[in-house]
Chain A
Amino acid sequence: MIPKKEEWLKALKERHGIELQKKISSTTVAVCGLGGLGSNIATALSRAGIGKLILIDFDRVDITNLHRQQYKVNQIGMNKTEALRENLKEINPYIETEVHTVCIDEDNAGKVLSQADIICEAFDDAECKAMLTGCVLEKMPDKYLVAASGMAGLGSPNEIQTRKITSRFYLCGDEKSDVKDDIGLVSSRVMLCAAHQAHTVLRIIANKFEV
């Protein structure tokens, strides 16, 4: 049986404390790219009771995604935005979501991200990562950006870290393991990096700005 909204919120407040949960519940986070990073970030934030998620991806679920992304076999072929929303609602039926099945570029980023307090860069492509970083930091000075670089392969999990680059820009990953090298992306290491990003989001919400 699905718990009532009041029961759900009560459980979260008991876990996080009333004041922190109020902040988490009133924050909007945009997740740009819903692959190994984005689908895991969104899952962690949904469980934490984030107020609203803006989910952005142009792609569909493919069989080659299932080894590391939070989708299911019966969702192959669906838009990632719709499939992830479905999965997040099963975890947290009261989460508010806004989906954009688009490819973010410099022209539409401002509009798509306008409601976000914190933006997670979770793309696969290095040039897209740099483009979004530039866009957010140059044109959206009131928002925080939590980006990722370097999480492929079977390297040590302890090399994944979070660095604060500017007062509004955090970078997670080992900053070197390229997907083109070695064996590509491995679920557990991508999840580690996604967990760094989701955790950084929660720390920003809790006013813990240092890493």
Chain B
Amino acid sequence: MVAPFFIADSEVKKVVKINGETVNAVGKTIAEYLTEAGYDIKRIAVEKNGDIVPKSRYEETCLCDGDSIEIVSFVGGG
């Protein structure tokens, strides 16, 4: 017998919001996501659920269901 919450769990799609877009990236680390999406780590800042994520923690920070991520990309000029 399968517990009801397992059924619900498999039916509900787990998603992360990245820059306002819904992305299927739950379980990936921030480092993995950034590499796959083609970001240049030297030119960005990453905010997760209202707090900045230090660069040193990109590899250990996992994206969880419901997380809201903002990746700020800097371009040159000033």
Contacts and interface: CB of A to CB of B under 8 A. Distances in A.
Interface of A: 33, 35-38, 122-127, 129-131, 133-134, 137-138, 147-152, 165-167, 169, 171, 175-180, 184-185, 190
A185 B75 CA distance: 12
Nearest to B55: A134
Contact of A165 (B43, B47, B75): B47
Contacts of A176: 75
B54 A149 contact: no
Interface of B: 42-45, 47, 50-52, 54-55, 70, 72-78
A130 B78 contact: no
B38 to A, nearest CB: 15
A151 B45 contact: no
A165 B72 CA distance: 9
A150 B77 contact: yes
B47 A124 contact: no
A165 B77 contact: no
B74 A166 contact: no
A177 B74 CA distance: 10
B27 to A, nearest CB: 25
